[in-house]
Chain A
Amino acid sequence: MATTDVALHEAFGQREPKRVVNNMSIQVATVNGSGSQSSNTVLLRSIFQMGVPVSGKNLFPSNIAGLPTWYTIRANKDGYIARKKEIDFVIAMNAETAQEDVMSLAPGAAVLYDEPLKLNALRNDLIFYPVPYDKLVAPVCPEAKLRKLVKNMIYVGVAAQLLGIDMAEVEKALRKQFATKVKAANLNLAAVRAGFDYATANLTKQDPYFIQRMDKNQGMIIIDGNSAAALGCMFAGVTVVTWYPITPSSSLVETLIDYMKEYRIGPDGKATFAIVQAEDELAAIGMVLGAGWAGARSMTATAGPGISLMAEFAGLSYYAEVPGVVWDIQRVGPSTGLPTRTSQGDVLSTAFLSHGDTKNILLFPCSVAECFSMAQDAFNLAEQFQTLVFVMSDLDLGMNNWMSDPFEYPKAPIDRGKVLTKEDLDRMGGFARYKDVDNDGIGYRTLPGTEHPAAAYFTRGTGHNEKSGYSERPDDFEKNMERINKKFETARAFVPRPELMAGKSKAKIGIIAYGTSHWGIIEARDQLRDEYNIETDYLRLKAYPFSREVHEFIEQHERVYVVEQNRDAQMLCLIKLDIKPELVTRLRSIAHIHGLPLDARSVTDELTSMEGK
């Protein structure tokens, strides 16, 4: 028996001594603006490089500096990377929240704390590791004003020692983090070592948590969803980007700017793109429409409040049939809501964004890989269907780091949709912009600048006929609206199909979810099977409008739980509108609105309680 196990056994006589390997949740509590983001990324990367599946979630305030922030790292050998509610190992750096952070822990959890906080006096059923950060930081960081930042690197060293993370991996992660800043890397590495050495000399391992080398992450990457989306847009051939900063979408465009500067400057030194920061979201979407109308692949990125402001233009895009892509990195609303917390609250409002009969195509990425691939789907669909396409990401996906297989280079060529050239017009003589020539509801368009006397047409949001002439005739209006609806019906077969994950045996219960809820669902399904013997089938939605698989899935199950991160069961409402009335009673809602990423246990608990278990 190892000495650590003896210590644990003695401290908690009621517990069986055991080692918990590669299965833990670490929470780092700091003050925002203290540079803890770098420390946390190094810790996350070190575990990743140890080959252990891992995720990192930043819970931060809407503030620049001085308010509490928490970073949660989950390492799990089985690949569960959803948020876990229970915290096993706390790194308490924030005096303001330390007491509450400690009081909320389950017995047996470990607390690594700043010695002067004296947290060990609070409870006797936890394991405490005091670290005198101020004493340790002074010798490694002579420059006093940098100490606040460097201090946070010390806990990386302490945690590495206690958890058994290889220091070589920590150094590698740290050198990557400070890639171009050798001086900063050396300074921070000294701090990590100071922490590691302190722990070796002064702390006795008492908690059961260990990181052990595995081989699950071979070839994988770590990236956040917004960066993945930016890459996807670049490889989708975006040419015009107009935006207005709003959390949590800003980093999408900011990262895109960096990538485009690197990969999209022509041999003549000139940009093959234009990125413009607009004066507000009204202008950002107006520019998207102007550019899409004139033939560019145009996009913007925003969040709920921006979506609200874009409503009028969304209707113009729908009715005048102008392509464009909008990324909605959803956060908690209504109003300013919780601007730095995650949500799926814009589903219903975006599906019908604008006045009159408007229906928009929505895509729901669940992973960074889908942020990349759906960027391409979105631009192709927007130009094929000559309408806005909304990609409904969220803060959890967009701003947090995720492991992923490397992204696949796009297989299909870019599809620019039905655009007539001068040569087409030479042959045809003329065209009717809004005529359903191919019986799919989609008309042909021309781009401004096409050098043919019959190329021009009049784009308007007012009533118009097939030839784009002004019309208030009831029959013209009705026919046009029916045709646009036909486009939407056509789109059902062109949007990404849902993914079915069947149970191990025939299941009566179905689960429907989408976006980042996916990660909690896959874990919850295992909990349901292992702990309650409940088998489930799971359909992950990827798009609105729904394809026939959604209808079939509901037909095949007695009860279907629709899990989502909003109060009003918004996706369930959309499904209700789409299915046969007799199927509606099969739908049940599991809804979460607290702004934290969905965890498996909440889903399991709610589903079993609704199942009467």
Chain B
Amino acid sequence: MATTTATPTPAPKVNRIGLTVLDYRGGKTTLCAGCGHNAISERIIDAMYEMGVQPERVIKPSGIGCSSKSPAYFMSRSHSFNAVHGRMPSVATGAMLANHKLIALGVSGDGDTASIGIGQFVHLMRRNLPIIYIIEDNGVYGLTKGQFSATADLGSKLKTGVVNDLPPIDTCAMAITLGATLVGRSFSGDKRQLHSLLKAAIAHKGTVMLDVVSPCVTFNDHEGSTKSYKYMKDHEEPLQELSFVPAFEEINVEYDAGTTVEVTMHDGSRLRLSKLEEDYDATNRIKAISRLHEAHEKGEVLTGLFYVNPEAPSFIDMLNVTDEPLATLPESVTRPGREALEQVMEELR
């Protein structure tokens, strides 16, 4: 018998609901090595884990495309619905009507959102449905081998040399215009910023629209592309340094009120914006839209939190639905009694 005492295996690190980061993992990715989408999946796993979100409460609706396959690669303990091309918003809306206690994390792509899905995207944004809508934006259709999408920048070049001669749709400017209540842009390679934005998204009640530039290593990462890793590293202009303090953490770090603004989220969490651009105000919708248009004029790739309104009523609030999820209401509630039918029949006699 050995005389040495065995060192106890350290207990795995758990979050506030007792789950390990492994409980948030998904299946093995089948996307290309180096695809930006995989990095976004990793950030989602980290954010959900750190926020202590019960994975069973999360649903992962998606459309069609490389981006929309990615829900298979994170959070296997959450229900997924890989729907039809461009129409994840309606599926997500239906699911949230059925059970508003769910947390919807929708994944779409730039083709899925800005072309075939632009109609449903527009109407989702105007309803302020509680959902985190992520566009994994690479400017091309991957699964059909590299055609331009509607977010491709003017003058951007395909591998084949074809130059895009149409202006891009700015999904963030659109989302703010239409009524989304937390809107930002990030880059799959900007780990810190994306992490903070995702945590703020989880704390937000209403429509979150995050456009995450996510380079396609196979079809759109070459010289001449404006959605490549290199282009993003050279041109990304963050508006702020973001940090997020969840409601359940009692950390009070002093900050300089002159350069930092704190936004209190609906659940009491705080999002700190250390301004890199002095006069930018992320609660001003009109200025946000104007700044985005200005960025296009200047050829900047602006990132960060563009707009937030933590208090706007959500679509669920407006519908005044009962607290219990509609999905599981018992028959005693959903089927009126005999006297109700008799009353209606009497009126029709």
Contacts and interface: CB of A to CB of B under 8 A. Distances in A.
Interface of A: 219-223, 231, 234-240, 242, 259, 263-264, 266, 268-274, 276, 278-280, 282-298, 312-313, 316, 320, 406-407, 409-410, 413-414, 446-453, 455-462, 470
B331 A409 contact: no
Contacts of A280: 119
Given A220-B349, A279-B123, A459 B94 contact: no
Contact of A456 (B76, B93, B119, B341): B76
A283 B331 CA distance: 28
A289 B83 contact: yes
Nearest to B90: A286
B336 A283 contact: no
A458 B80 contact: yes
B334 A290 contact: no
A264 B336 CA distance: 7
B81 A456 contact: no
**Chain B: number of interface residues, binned into ranges:** 35 or more
Contacts of B94: 240, 242, 286-294, 296, 298
Interface string B44-79: 000000000011110101000000000110001111
Contacts of A284: 90
B94 to A, nearest CB: 3
Contacts of B326: 239-240, 272-274, 291, 296
Interface in B118-169: 119-120, 122-123
Contact of B328 (A282, A295, A453): A295
Contact of B84 (A276, A313, A450): A313
Nearest to B123: A279
Nearest to B348: A221
B11 interface: no
Contacts of B57: 449
Contacts of B123: 278-279, 283
B87 A286 contact: yes
Contacts of A450: 56
A292 B93 CA distance: 11
A449 B91 contact: no
Nearest to B58: A448
A206 to B, nearest CB: 35
B333 A266 contact: yes
Which 10 pairs between the two chains have the least Cβ-Cβ distance? A290-B94, A286-B90, A295-B327, A237-B334, A296-B98, A287-B94, A294-B98, A291-B94, A221-B348, A290-B91
Interface of B: 23, 54-57, 59, 61, 71-72, 76-84, 87, 89-99, 101-102, 119-120, 122-123, 319-323, 325-329, 331, 333-336, 338, 340-341, 344-345, 348-349
Nearest to A217: B349
Contacts of B336: 234-235, 263-264
B45 to A, nearest CB: 15
Contacts of A289: 83, 90-91, 94
A490 to B, nearest CB: 24
B321 A458 contact: no
B97 A296 contact: yes
Nearest to A284: B90
B47 to A, nearest CB: 19
Nearest to A458: B80
A413 B334 CA distance: 11
B84 A239 contact: no
A313 B328 CA distance: 24
Contacts of A238: 334
B331 A237 contact: yes
- The winner among A264, A283, A297 for most chain B CB atoms within 10 A is A283
A295 B56 contact: no
B81 A293 contact: yes
Contact of A272 (B72, B98, B329, B345): B329
Contact of A270 (B91, B92, B320): B320
B78 A459 contact: no
A266 B322 contact: yes
A449 B95 CA distance: 11
Given A273-B326, A456-B77, 13 more contacts: A271-B320, A276-B319, A283-B123, A289-B90, A289-B91, A290-B90, A291-B98, A295-B328, A316-B83, A449-B327, A456-B55, A458-B80, A459-B82
Contact of B95 (A236, A266, A291, A410): A291
A222 B348 contact: yes
A156 B93 CA distance: 49
Contacts of A288: 94
A272 B102 contact: no
Contacts of A279: 119-120, 122-123
Contact of B56 (A222, A282, A312, A456): A456
B341 A287 contact: no
Contacts of B335: 235-237, 410, 414
Contacts of B321: 270-274
Contacts of A268: 322-323
Contacts of B81: 290, 293, 320, 459-460
Contacts of B23: 453
A291 B97 contact: yes
Given A272-B329, A273-B321, A294-B102, A448 B79 contact: yes
B68 to A, nearest CB: 10
A290 B61 contact: yes
Contacts of A222: 348
